[in-house]
Amino acid sequence: NAGVTQTPKFRVLKTGQSMTLLCAQDMNHEYMYWYRQDPGMGLRLIHYSVGEGTTAKGEVPDGYNVSRLKKQNFLLGLESAAPSQTSVYFCASSSSTGGLQPQHFGDGTRLSIL
């Protein structure tokens, strides 16, 4: 079973470039999340979605945009990459809000901004 798949796995960008990270889940989950993970700071929620066509801001949304055009996909966009956005990005999905149902995570996208 694929579960949650993130593409790409690695990427290096120059400051000011834009890119989109793709997350796909095959579990028919309603809820999807984007996190970033930095050393010593744990997981921080960037944006999340409670269903197709809906998105909401998390703890650290600035500099990122998201879209959920299809239930199985959740896209994270960096409009103008900055070195402070160098991080490991994780996508997750759950059948209801993450505090009540377990979240299923992908294996991450390692992003470096030079």
Partner 1 sequence: LAKTTQPISMDSYEGQEVNITCSHNNIATNDYITWYQQFPSQGPRFIIQGYKTKVTNEVASLFIPADRKSSTLSLPRVSLSDTAVYYCLVGDGWAGNNRKLIWGLGTSLAVNP
By CB under 8 A, is residue 13 in contact with partner 1?
no
Residue 28 CA, chain-centre distance (Å), reads 17
Determine, following the binding rule CB under 8 A, whether residue 103 of this chain makes contact with partner 1.
Answer: yes
Q: How far is CA 76 from the centre of its chain?
A: 6
- Burial, 61: exposed, middle or buried (Cβ in 10 Å; 0-12, 13-18, 19+)? middle
Contacts of 42 (CB under 8 A, 6+ apart): none
Per CB under 8 A, does 106 bind partner 1? yes
Which is nearer to partner 1, 85 or 103 (by Cβ)?
103
Q: Residue 5 interacts with partner 1 (CB under 8 A)?
A: no
User: Whose CA is closest to 83, among 111, 43, 44?
Assistant: 111
CB–CB of 71/87 below 8 Å? no
The residue among 78 and 108 lying less far from partner 1, judged by its C-beta, is: 108
Residues 50-69 contacting partner 1, CB under 8 A: 50, 56-58
Nearer of residues 9 and 15 to partner 1, judged by Cβ = 9
Helix (H, G, I), strand (E, B), or coil: what is residue 109? Answer: strand
Instruction: Point out which span in 13-21, 64-72, 76-84, 100-108 binds partner 1 (CB under 8 A).
Output: 100-108
Binding positions for partner 1, rule: CB under 8 A: 4, 40-45, 48, 50, 56-58, 90, 92, 97-100, 102-108
